[in-house]
Amino acid sequence: MAETRYHAATPEIKDSCFSLPPEMFEQVQRVKDEEGRDMSELVREALRLYMEDRELRWEQRRERLRSQQANQSEEDDQGGHSNE
């Protein structure tokens, strides 16, 4: 579980503590070293990308629902009868 607290140096930043499985930690360490970045940068980027992807998935679901509702409404307007 993540622990969140305010960062003393910059109050608008919060610190979080989280755990990773050893394999994932090693992967992150390699990427961090290869890219010359720190753990916080990588975690912020990963979360930012996740949140963007999550919002896109939600929008796609909403669009599918709207489309299904529109199709259902058209069928209801036609009385559910086919033109046979």
Quote the pTM value: 0.62
Residue 17 domain-assigned (yes or no): yes
Q: What is the DSSP string of 48-81?
A: HHHHHHHHHHHHHHHHHHHHHHHHHHHHHHTTT-
Give the helix, strand, coil percentages of the chain, each rounded to 5. 65, 10, 25
Q: How far apart are CA 14 and CA 74, in angstroms?
A: 50
pLDDT tier at 8 (50, 70, 90 boundaries)?
A: low
Q: For the segment 16-70, what is each residue's pLDDT rounded down to a tens digit?
A: 899 999 999 999 999 999 999 999 999 999 999 999 999 999 999 999 999 988 8
Residue 9 domain-assigned (yes or no): yes
Residue 83 domain-assigned (yes or no): no
Which SS3 state, helix, strand or coil, does residue 6 take?
strand
Residue 60 domain-assigned (yes or no): yes
Residue 66 domain-assigned (yes or no): yes
Residue 81 domain-assigned (yes or no): no
Residue 14 domain-assigned (yes or no): yes
What is the domain extent for residue 65?
3-70
Structural domains of the chain, count: 1
Residue 48 domain-assigned (yes or no): yes
